[in-house]
């Protein structure tokens, strides 16, 4: 069956059907956003020719493959994400210090958005049913530097309920993915007649679980990347019209100035929906040259309507973790301020690397994969910073750092020896230093005893799930 017949079912609910149909089968622009704690990404992306999104000041599209983009990506200063897919987390209006559950997290771009928003006083549980897909998220956590993420492996519809209640839960559920056709045309091929029914049943289960796991007064995001009302408004309608006991929710109005959106449908195939369904958001590809997306922001009824306020946490959340003494061990080599790691702990794993994790209570009873980001490297007799930690410390270092010239940055990423422009020696006996290009921390280097005018790169051969040399060649071809 041709693609246009698959899309024909939406003719009556979308403006300018011909334009919509054409946009669904043409390539879409690449887009990315800059984490708040990696602000140098703004200048690097502008240097790469990218243009800022009209509705989101920390996001860009249409960069050129250039050294500036390579530097932004490898220092965790940009996260590539489809533009429309960025919108639900922006609409959620997260606050610093909040606890958030991302039920279907892999590959992790929304998790990174959440973690950047709630900061190092907040906590994010990133869950996915596929443990293999979580490897991508693990690489993203290290590349962007996110100590506030705990990864777990559960079926989202049966996510453990230990009594812990989150400030917000994100349910970006499995769907038919029609809105991703601009990068994956196969999603517009004919489906088995039972496919939508099966998906809608799973989506409803996940959404109801998300509501139960949210604290009274908290928020829930329900999102898909499909156009199908069966997976969008129909699912929301069943939950709004028939809530589980003491799990009432209401759809909230969404405010995203500058982003062209459509309202949720009030009717489909002669079925009338809840009167507030117009508060849901549809993003059609031809509106702003994006992918297709649907989401709604739900608010759970407050405490006087919902007595369930039990909070149960992981009593062992600080297991083998301790505060960081910047005057001791490898931490003491870089002249760090006492408050550099406020609200953060170091967790000994017994392996090659420690972990850097946020302090505070985490939910218990989870099949935990890993917590926090890679911390100290203990592979040798001389413990040192990992690349993640060197980039995380950044401008907080006043010693144990070197400057290299901008023209040598790509050499550094490809593990070559590069000339030192300026050096502030480490305070201890180590010869490991944080390598900078201007104000941007690139990673770790080693000063050879034979020539202190050069720095040996120890940037990883594989970083964020990529073979670095091959990836650089692909970006500069």
Domain CATH code at residue 413 = 2.30.130.10
Q: Please give the positions annotated as active site.
A: 225
Phi-psi region of 91 (alpha: psi -120 to 50; beta: other; left: phi over 0): alpha
Would you say residue 459 lies in a domain?
A: yes
Q: Which residues partner with 127 through β-bridges?
A: 152
> Which residue, 390, 458, 450, is CA-closest to 426?
390
Would you say residue 462 lies in a domain?
A: yes
Task: State the pLDDT at residue 77.
Answer: 98
Residue 39: both structure tokens together: 């602000």
Please answer whether residues 268 and 253 qualify as being in contact, where contact means their C-beta atoms are separated by less than 8 angstroms.
Answer: no
Would you say residue 22 lies in a domain?
A: no
Dist. CA 395–CA 393, nearest whole Å: 6
Would you say residue 176 lies in a domain?
A: no
Please answer whether residues 419 and 405 qualify as being in contact, where contact means their C-beta atoms are separated by less than 8 angstroms.
Answer: yes
Please answer whether residues 220 and 207 qualify as being in contact, where contact means their C-beta atoms are separated by less than 8 angstroms.
Answer: yes
Residue 131: both structure tokens together: 């443990």
- Among the residues of 276-324, which ranges form H helices? 285-288
- Among the residues of 155-295, which ranges form H helices? 195-212, 233-241, 285-288
Residue 473, domain extent: 399-477
Would you say residue 450 lies in a domain?
A: yes
Cα dist from 34 to 9, 63, 436, 446, whole Å: 37, 13, 19, 29
> Which residue, 237, 196, 225, 203, is CA-closest to 28?
225
| CB atoms inside a 10 Å sphere around CB 347 | 18
In the chain, what is the straight-line distance between the N-terminal and C-terminal CA atoms, in Å?
38
Q: What is the DSSP letter of 82?
A: -
| Widest Cα–Cα separation across the chain | 80
> Which residue, 453, 366, 356, is CA-closest to 404?
453
Would you say residue 427 lies in a domain?
A: yes
Task: State the pLDDT at residue 313.
Answer: 56
Task: State the pLDDT at residue 307.
Answer: 40
Please answer whether residues 251 and 301 qualify as being in contact, where contact means their C-beta atoms are separated by less than 8 angstroms.
Answer: no
What is the chain's pLDDT, residue by residue, as a tens digit (477 residues)? Answer: 445 578 999 999 999 999 999 999 999 999 999 999 999 999 999 999 999 999 999 999 999 999 999 999 999 999 999 999 999 999 999 999 999 999 999 999 999 999 999 999 999 999 999 988 899 999 999 999 999 999 999 999 999 999 999 999 999 999 999 999 999 999 998 887 788 999 999 999 999 999 999 999 999 999 999 999 999 999 999 999 999 999 999 999 999 999 999 999 999 999 999 999 999 999 999 999 999 999 999 999 986 544 444 445 554 544 578 999 999 888 999 999 999 999 999 999 888 999 999 998 899 999 999 999 999 998 877 889 999 999 999 989 999 999 999 999 999 999 999 999 999 999 988 999 999 999 999 999 999 999 999 999 999 999 988 999 999 999 997
Q: Which residue is it, tokens 């690397």?
A: 353
Dist. CA 317–CA 123, nearest whole Å: 12
Would you say residue 464 lies in a domain?
A: yes
Would you say residue 232 lies in a domain?
A: no
Dist. CA 298–CA 220, nearest whole Å: 5
Task: State the pLDDT at residue 191.
Answer: 81
Query: Per the structure, how many domains does the chain have?
Result: 1
Dist. CA 5–CA 215, nearest whole Å: 44
Mark 143-164 as b/e (b = at least 16 C-beta within 10 Å): bbbbbbbbbbbbebbebeebeb
Residue 160: both structure tokens together: 């453990």
- Phi, psi of 442, rounded to the nearest 5 degrees: -90, -35
Dist. CA 67–CA 44, nearest whole Å: 9
Phi-psi region of 163 (alpha: psi -120 to 50; beta: other; left: phi over 0): left
| CB atoms inside a 10 Å sphere around CB 139 | 17
- The beta strands (E) that lie in 241-367 are given as 249-251, 262-263, 267-268, 271-272, 281-283, 293-300, 321-323, 344-347, 353-358
Please answer whether residues 215 and 166 qualify as being in contact, where contact means their C-beta atoms are separated by less than 8 angstroms.
Answer: yes
């Amino acid at each position: 069956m041709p693609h246009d017949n698959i899309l024909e079912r939406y003719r009556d609910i979308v403006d300018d059907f011909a334009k919509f149909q054409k946009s669904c089968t043409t390539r879409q622009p690449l887009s990315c956003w800059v984490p708040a704690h990696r602000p140098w990404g703004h200048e690097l992306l502008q240097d790469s020719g990218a243009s800022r999104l009209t509705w989101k000041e920390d996001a860009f599209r249409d960069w050129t493959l250039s050294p500036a983009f390579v530097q932004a990506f490898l220092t965790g200063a940009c996260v590539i994400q489809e533009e429309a897919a960025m919108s639900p987390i922006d609409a959620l209006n997260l606050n610093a210090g909040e606890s958030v559950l991302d039920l279907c997290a892999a590959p992790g771009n929304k998790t990174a958005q959440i973690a950047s928003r709630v900061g190092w006083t907040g906590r994010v549980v990133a869950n996915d049913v596929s443990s293999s897909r979580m490897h991508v998220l693990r690489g993203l956590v290290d590349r962007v530097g996110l100590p506030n993420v705990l990864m777990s492996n559960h079926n989202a519809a049966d996510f453990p309920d230990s009594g812990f209640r989150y400030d917000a839960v994100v349910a970006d559920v499995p769907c038919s993915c029609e809105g991703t056709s601009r990068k994956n045309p196969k999603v517009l091929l004919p489906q088995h007649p039972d496919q939508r029914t099966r998906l809608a049943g799973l989506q409803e289960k996940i959404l109801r679980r998300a509501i139960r796991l949210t604290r009274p007064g908290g928020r829930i995001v329900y999102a898909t990347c499909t156009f199908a009302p069966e997976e969008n408004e129909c699912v929301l309608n069943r939950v709004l019209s028939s809530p589980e006991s003491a799990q009432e929710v209401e759809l909230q109005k969404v405010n995203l100035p500058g982003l062209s959106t459509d309202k949720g449908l009030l009717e489909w195939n002669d079925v009338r929906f809840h009167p507030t369904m117009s508060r849901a958001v549809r993003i059609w590809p031809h509106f702003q040259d994006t992918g297709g997306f649907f989401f709604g922001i739900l608010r759970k009824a407050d405490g006087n309507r919902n007595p369930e306020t039990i909070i149960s946490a992981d009593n062992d959340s600080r297991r083998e973790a301790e505060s960081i003494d910047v005057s001791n061990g490898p931490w003491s080599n870089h002249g760090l301020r006492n408050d550099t790691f406020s609200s953060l702990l170091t967790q000994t794993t017994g392996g090659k690397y420690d972990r850097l994790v946020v302090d505070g209570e985490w939910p218990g009873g989870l099949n935990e994969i890993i917590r926090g980001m890679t911390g100290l490297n203990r592979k040798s007799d001389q413990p040192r910073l990992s690349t993640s930690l060197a980039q995380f410390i950044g401008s907080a270092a006043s010693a144990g750092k070197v400057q290299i010239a901008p023209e040598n940055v790509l050499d550094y990423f490809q593990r070559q020896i590069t000339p030192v422009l300026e050096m502030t020696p480490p305070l201890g006996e180590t010869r490991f230093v944080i390598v900078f290009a201007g104000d941007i921390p690139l990673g770790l280097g080693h000063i050879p005893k034979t020539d202190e005018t050069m720095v040996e790169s120890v940037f990883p051969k594989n970083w964020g799930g990529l073979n670095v040399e091959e990836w650089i060649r692909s970006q500069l071809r």
